[in-house]
């Protein structure tokens, strides 16, 4: 401001007066502060690191070790070191056709449920841009309630709604002409059972996706869309060549997250099958859990967990890379 009023006189003393002492004051101060800077952040992170290493790192290590041993109920009760068995658990797991069925089922479920959820979420997000303000508010409120619901409670509601005798779903479908659905048991046929599970997962997952993607859509410059329309682009073309490319980073992140979440599916089959998951409804997570705690085969369960983590490693690394980039930005 001074510089504008009287360009010459205050300007020349300003640089030496304003900048140099600042630098001079900083230069000797810096090495000292940096020494402190090296120690303080480590001291600050120490408790968190200790907790993470002690209670996540060590169990992770123990899980791997355990998968090379044979820990059964006897070792658990006596506290004796379980016998080492080398790769036996892995051989057992990897040559077991049941395991591969479970892997295939988990992968298929993940692909199908993520595809439906993300596409539906995107469609709803786009719909939210088209509707009246009040309708949009209604949609947001409806989705908020669903999103806020605890997983276990949501699963219990679905269990109750698809109850064979008194479930409202059977009643409503039965109302349709030419359909006999009284006392229909949804979980007798695995296909139908999985439809219920997928519906539950999609229903619970769409709010996060739609609301997040809708927030992303507000960032798409309207001018671009208008320019495209003026240039003769149809709505579909505008979506494909403008909206989606801009939204891409966000879509990538929410899809990755959905894959990670749905791959670890546990609660829904567990609750819908009354904590006694049948072979047709096992996912990798429930399978490992039942092997370990249901059959006291802790080592086998660990081996399955290790394989699960390895299967997910690629997706996780991808997510971390994305988040890391973001973390570097600010």
Chain residues 257-296 in contact with other proteins, contact rule CB under 8 A: 257, 260, 264, 266-267, 270-271, 274-275, 285, 288-289, 292-293
Give me the least distance between CB of 329 and other proteins, in Å please: 6
Segment lying near other proteins (by CB under 8 A), choices 60-68, 83-91, 98-106, 111-119: 60-68
66/122 with CB nearer other proteins: 66
How many residues bind to other proteins according to rule CB under 8 A?
119
Alpha-carbon span 101 to 84, nearest angstrom: 28
Alpha-carbon span 83 to 102, nearest angstrom: 28
The answer to the question of residue 107 lying near other proteins (CB under 8 A) is no
Q: Taking CB under 8 A as the criterion, which residues in 186-225 touch other proteins?
A: 203, 206-208, 211-212, 214-216, 218-219, 222
Classified as helix, coil or strand, 37 is helix
Contacts of 203 (CB under 8 A, 6+ apart): 146, 154
1/329 with CB nearer other proteins: 329
DSSP per-residue letters across 227-258: HHHHTT--HHHHIIIIIHHHHHHHHHHHHHHH
Alpha-carbon span 74 to 143, nearest angstrom: 49
The half-sphere exposure of 245 on its side-chain side, counting CA atoms within 13 A, is 8
Classified as helix, coil or strand, 163 is coil
Give me the least distance between CB of 27 and other proteins, in Å please: 16
The answer to the question of residue 100 lying near other proteins (CB under 8 A) is no
91/156 with CB nearer other proteins: 156
Segment lying near other proteins (by CB under 8 A), choices 12-20, 71-79, 91-99, 102-110: 71-79
Q: Taking CB under 8 A as the criterion, which residues in 22-51 touch other proteins?
A: 36-38, 40-42, 44-45, 47-49, 51
The answer to the question of residue 151 lying near other proteins (CB under 8 A) is yes
Contacts of 18 (CB under 8 A, 6+ apart): none
Token output for 293:
């705690």
Give me the least distance between CB of 30 and other proteins, in Å please: 12
């Amino acid at each position: 401001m001074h510089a504008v009023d009287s360009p010459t006189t205050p300007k020349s003393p300003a640089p030496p007066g304003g900048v140099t002492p600042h630098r001079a004051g900083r230069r000797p101060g810096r090495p000292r502060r940096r020494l402190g800077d090296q120690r303080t952040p480590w001291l600050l992170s120490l408790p968190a690191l200790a907790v993470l290493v002690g209670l996540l790192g060590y169990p992770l290590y123990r899980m791997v070790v355990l998968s090379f041993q044979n820990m059964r109920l006897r070792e658990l009760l006596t506290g004796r070191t379980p016998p080492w068995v080398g790769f036996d658990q892995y051989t057992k797991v990897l040559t077991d056709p049941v395991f591969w069925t479970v892997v295939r089922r988990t992968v298929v479920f993940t692909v199908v449920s993520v595809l439906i959820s993300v596409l539906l979420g995107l469609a709803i997000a786009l719909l939210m841009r088209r509707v009246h303000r009040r309708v949009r508010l209604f949609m947001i409120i409806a989705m908020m309630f669903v999103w806020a619901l605890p997983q276990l409670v949501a699963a219990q509601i679905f269990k109750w709604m698809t109850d064979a005798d008194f479930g409202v779903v059977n009643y409503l479908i039965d109302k349709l002409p030419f359909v006999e659905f009284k006392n229909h048991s949804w979980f007798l046929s695995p296909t139908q059972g999985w439809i219920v599970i997928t519906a539950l997962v999609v229903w619970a997952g769409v709010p996060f996706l739609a609301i997040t993607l809708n927030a992303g859509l507000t960032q798409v410059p309207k001018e671009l869309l208008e320019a495209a329309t003026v240039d003769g682009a149809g709505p579909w073309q505008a979506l494909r060549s403008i909206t989606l490319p801009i939204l891409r980073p966000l879509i990538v992140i929410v899809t990755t997250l959905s894959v990670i979440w749905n791959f670890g599916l546990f609660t829904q089959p567990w609750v819908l099958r009354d904590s006694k998951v049948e072979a047709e409804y096992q996912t990798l997570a429930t399978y490992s859990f039942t092997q370990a705690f249901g059959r006291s085969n802790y080592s086998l369960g660990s081996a399955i967990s290790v394989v699960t983590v390895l299967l997910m490693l690629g997706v996780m690394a991808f997510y971390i890379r994305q988040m890391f980039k973001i973390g570097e930005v600010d």
